[in-house]
Structure 1
Amino acid sequence: MKTQKSYQDNSEIGILYIVPTPIGNLEDITIRALNTLKQVNLIAAEDTRHTKKILTHFDIHCPLTSYHEHSQQSKLVYLLNELKAGKQIALVSDAGMPGISDPGTLLIQEAIQAEINVVVLPGANAALCALIGSGLATDHFYFYGFLPKKNKERKKAWQDLKRQQATVILYESPYRLKATLNDIKANLGNRRVVIARELTKKFEEYIRGTVEDVLNWAEEGTVKGEFCLIIEGAIDPVGTEQLWWGELSVIEHVDHYIEAEQLTSKEAIKKVAQEREVAKREVYQQYHLN
């Protein structure tokens, strides 16, 4: 067990500040965020060109270094060494909260492992803005982020989301929006959905309706900018808790068919994979390797 006292004086080791930046409107940055960016020794940015515009606007002069998905491995050791040497570093993404659907998570995890204090500042986040503005249920919600691009992984994601009773939050690019809307209709049915685009900007827009309604809009509307998709949760999901095998482990599930129906392990594994909607390989590995 490890305990972090975020503001305990420890000048020997630095602090990693997680600093949210505006998702569109520059006025949404907090006073605390500005003061933090002014006082740190270094800013690790997803895109230094983008961050320079923010720093220039607010007259902040601080060294910048890039930290993105293509540089995270090479920069990770450097940033950790700087923190261990007592430097204070601010991590920022292009927009919103670092660590949400961006490479900042790995740096945060490694800093915690190295017992470096990680101080998270509150601030802008597109997912929560879109959720609250959607008008759909907010008491329970499930943030998924970006869907996988590979067909097999994407199919598995839809199988999982189909059972989700909570409101679902997705991020999507304008290039895949129509395809994703069609996937929602095919996999989840004609549910209520809300698209939020250009949040906090001059052309902020919410499109609310059924999937079919929103698909019609996508054929004629302005499909530009980054999108948040808010999807109504399943009203009567077919979850594992409603199935007779819901409380069984994979091994118990396979053994049931071997004993009750006299199936071979190969046949039982195939049947279990079909019922659980997973690959046979996954069931095989759990059954034989565990």
Structure 2
Amino acid sequence: MRLVSFERNGSATLGVREGDQLRVIGDETMESLVARGVDLADYVRSHASQERVSAASVKLLPPLQRPPKILCVGLNFADHTQESNYEQPTYPTLFFRVATSLIAHDEPMIRPRVTDSDGLDFEGEIAVVIGKGGRHISKDTALSHVAGYSVFNDGSVREYQFKTPQWTVGKNFDGTGAFGPDLVTADELPPGVKGLRLETRLNGEVVQSASTDQMVFDVASLISTISEAITLEPGDVIVSGTPSGIGWARSPRLLMKAGDVCEVTVEQIGTLRNVIEDEVAA
């Protein structure tokens, strides 16, 4: 099942994708449904209307607009760790994103107006949406805590990322965290999204391509490890890491500029597309 959040009459509306159409479900948000522990498939069956709208005619929103937490995983593909000149960590490298950085599919990704940066880098990733929370979740049961998966582009302002040992600022500029377009329920995908191809394209050129089998810490391991320390809540998002090919590691560097088109595709999940725009002075 492919659930889509979109704007209608000035508020968030939930729909289910049926080809190029969205079947209207209602105005309860994905965050609310997941927080209530609702079985998404059952909810859709009981609440779906007969009304359909063209997916191309509506403004899409991130699948969840204000997740309780957005936990990002760095250095989770060994080839990316190598190109970044780090030793491969034996424990997941975690950092947080904030909800104000999120943008939707087809919404502009913003190249920030700061003097200390030449550009914006791409990082194609898979987003894991938690459906059932908990603490000290075992690896064996971890995948039962997943509501679904989506696509993420962890847009990074590298100069600010490396101003300090903590990466937070460079990963949290407004308008740099692209998320969507669909949330695909876990039952429609291989367990833990094993064996899926993740690919990033910049202006049509493939710049990242890897299998999820290459992740150092798989989805179940991430959920279990994070929950040793942090209570996972329904609606939390885990952004699970990017493979090699980032622009910052290239020579010459390949950083995104206004007018560029960045697309991230994950097999069986979908394609997230954003055009880069320069931040406009207030």
> Could you state the TM-score of these two structures normalised by the residue count of structure 2?
0.24
Structure of higher RCO (CA pairs closer than 8 Å, 6+ residues apart): 2
> Could you state the TM-score of these two structures normalised by the residue count of structure 1?
0.23
**Would you tell me which structure has more helix in proportion to its own residues?**
1
